[in-house]
A and B are shown apart, each in its own frame.
Chain A
Amino acid sequence: MNGRLIASWSVVALCGIYFLAPLIATFEFSLRLLRGHYSFEAYRLVFASGDFQSAFLFSAIIGVVTIIVGALIVTPTAYWVQLRLPALRGIVEYITLLPLVVPAIVLVFGYIKLYGSNSILPLTATPFGSDILLMLGYVALGLPYLYRAIDAGMRSIDVKTLSEAAQIQGAGFPTILFRIIIPNIRSSILSGAFLTFAIVIGEFTLASLLDRPAFGPYLQLVGASRAYEPAALAVVAFLITWGCMGIIQWLGNSGSNFSAKR
């Protein structure tokens, strides 16, 4: 099986070089703010403005809520479509592709028109309502990734047999969903969670036009007329987001005591 090891190490090594080189280049550039020698001056400037923490925290919290709401909407859908309504597969998948091709600005203007302060559901009239609207917008943006990941995972487990076995034992739908299905597609939900979280942290258009103090708009304010600070910010954002993913991964792992795969 040595051939297999060589192949996998080569793939990982090549990909590693491809993914790390641009990050290293950005990092190297961010160290060049002071003429002649490397320094962390750009990072000091970035952290000097106090808004970094509050903006990041805001986005992180919204990100977590988005993941939960998104998973709750997508999982039953993927389940029922696979089990009983395969004819709906086409339309459901098309809907989940829409957020990729509809420009975010069209979406946010649509929200403002439909849920503006003079409408039936005036979500934009209060900060909390705007936060809810923003979160639901993010669920929409994360839908393609969340659905595809959860659907791929569900296809690999025998949903039908698991459900029937559980039903024979008298389990109702919520039990099936929360205690049988979800633990088995843990890695799918985690994948979807990572993708969604990254989107929420970096997203700019929705947050800015709904006037919410998120991380994306904060990044944009650092400015187009600067060179080193945006590079430093990109590196910091990358690292911190990666850290958050690690936390999500750890939380996801510790919650499992039922592992069906190796």
Chain B
Amino acid sequence: MSKVALLSSVAALAAGALLSSATLSRADDMAALVDAAKKEGQLTVIALPHDWCDYGDLISSFKAKYGLTINELNPDGGSGDEVEAIKANKDNKGPQAPDVIDVGLGFGPSAKADKLIQPYKVATWASIPDDAKDADGYWYGDYYGVLAFAVNTDVVKNAPADWSDLAKPEYKGAFAVVGDPRTANQAAMAVYASGMAGGGDAVGIAKKGLEFFASLNKSGNFVPVTGGAATIAQGTTPIVAMWDYNAMAARDNLKGNPKIDVVVPKSGVVAGVYVQAISAYAPHPAAAKLWMEHLYSDEGQIGWLKGYCHPIRFNDLAAKGKVPADLLAKLPPAADYAQAKFPSLADQKAAKETIAKDWDSTVGATVAK
């Protein structure tokens, strides 16, 4: 055999071996991960209510598939809670230390800067849009939704179609947000969305939103109660601005009593992205990574869709025809989402700061005694 032939056949053999070992190692990796996770035996999650994006089912399916115990901390927690929990548990390896977090977009970069999270790229990494993930793999978007109105149609006969409708006198004492705009993402984004119709930069939009809420407060259309399924059903806040997935979950849970309409506003459609990350101090890193693989697999992404959340790989799945038609039918029409704006990290930060700083002076100032 000539030298060239020998060399090229060796090269071909080597390439062949490399290629097959690459595919082999993918499956091997996964198997090794599952083994390591099973050895760890448990996973600790935090701030995952069962009715939020159908996490309840995702958690049980993960438990059933891999037989791990899941410790669920603080289901009502906010993003700040999750980050503080990682900080407090730096030296603790017990089941009180969160392994994974699901936080608002803005918290991803700040957790990375504070060295609280570790990088990991899931198998389906490539199909996650670039602007929804950290290039180094520290955090990655998981799902999104848009702000919509949940309307109790037993009490409110004409549902509002847009933010400006809320100012109409027929909606006196009817509208609320979920929580306090200085504390809760849903509420802050509602203020932001209401100002979007006017256009402009993030701070300008936030200021317009604040003025709009100030006028709603003055006319008595805005009720400062924390809105939710209970207050909607009871009739005190028949219109509540919340993420569409929460509105639809409430609609389902109320089972038609009362009937809830979920209305995506005509203008001012704001989308909110949440991100996943693994704690740098996770006591069960293999279980954490397995959880991520589970969430970002087709099965996991569809699981979120069942909870009415748009999974981050939605476009990828839709292109491959993997989205079940019956689920698609349950969501609001795609046209509603066509106008959804995804505020960038910088925009969100600026808007939130403005809203939190100026809320008191602009809106909450009149403390009626």
Instruction: Let me know if chains A and B touch directly in the complex, using CB atoms closer than 8 Å.
Output: yes
Residue of A nearest to B256 (CB): A35
Interface centre among A34, A108, A225 (most CB of B within 10 A): A225
**B96's contact among A118, A119, A211, A225, by CB below 8 Å, is which?**
A211
* Contact of B50 with A by CB under 8 A: yes
Residue numbers in B under 8 Å from A112 (CB-CB): 88-89, 92, 96-97
Do residues A221 and B50 form an inter-chain contact, with CB atoms below 8 A? yes
Residue of A nearest to B233 (CB): A227
Residue numbers in B under 8 Å from A130 (CB-CB): 94, 96
Do residues B257 and A208 form an inter-chain contact, with CB atoms below 8 A? no
* Contact of A139 with B by CB under 8 A: no
* Binary CB contact string for chain B from 241 to 261 against chain A (1 if under 8 A, 0 otherwise): 000001001100111111000
* Contact of A147 with B by CB under 8 A: no
- Could you tell me the dominant secondary structure of chain A's interface residues? helix
**B257's contact among A33, A124, A217, A220, by CB below 8 Å, is which?**
A33
* Contact of A223 with B by CB under 8 A: yes
* Contact of B73 with A by CB under 8 A: yes
Residue of B nearest to A119 (CB): B91
Do residues B233 and A224 form an inter-chain contact, with CB atoms below 8 A? no
**Docked complex Cα distance between A224 and B76 (Å):** 8
Residue numbers in A under 8 Å from B233 (CB-CB): 32, 227-228
Q: How large is the interface on A (under 10, 10 to 19, 20 to 34, 35 or more residues)?
A: 20 to 34
**Docked complex Cα distance between A34 and B255 (Å):** 9
Interface centre among A29, A113, A211 (most CB of B within 10 A): A211
Do residues A211 and B91 form an inter-chain contact, with CB atoms below 8 A? no
Minimum Cβ distance to chain B for residue A54 (Å): 15
How many of chain B's residues have a CB under 8 angstroms from any CB in A?
40
**Docked complex Cα distance between A218 and B137 (Å):** 35
* Contact of B131 with A by CB under 8 A: no
Interface centre among B88, B89, B253 (most CB of A within 10 A): B88
Minimum Cβ distance to chain A for residue B185 (Å): 14
Residue numbers in B under 8 Å from A209 (CB-CB): 73-74, 85, 96
Residue numbers in A under 8 Å from B246 (CB-CB): 225
* Contact of B51 with A by CB under 8 A: yes
* Contact of A230 with B by CB under 8 A: yes
**8 A Cβ contacts from B85-116 to A:** 85, 87-97
**Docked complex Cα distance between A217 and B230 (Å):** 19
| Pairs of residues from A and B, 4 with the lowest C-beta to C-beta distance, nearest first | A116-B92, A109-B88, A225-B51, A227-B233
Which residues of B line the A interface, CB within 8 A? 44, 49-52, 71-76, 81, 84-85, 87-97, 228-230, 232-234, 246, 249-250, 253-258
28 A-B residue contacts at CB 8 Å?
Answer: A29-B234, A33-B255, A34-B257, A109-B84, A109-B88, A112-B97, A117-B92, A117-B93, A117-B94, A124-B92, A130-B94, A209-B74, A209-B85, A210-B96, A211-B73, A220-B75, A223-B49, A223-B50, A224-B49, A225-B229, A225-B246, A225-B249, A226-B253, A227-B229, A227-B232, A227-B233, A227-B234, A228-B233
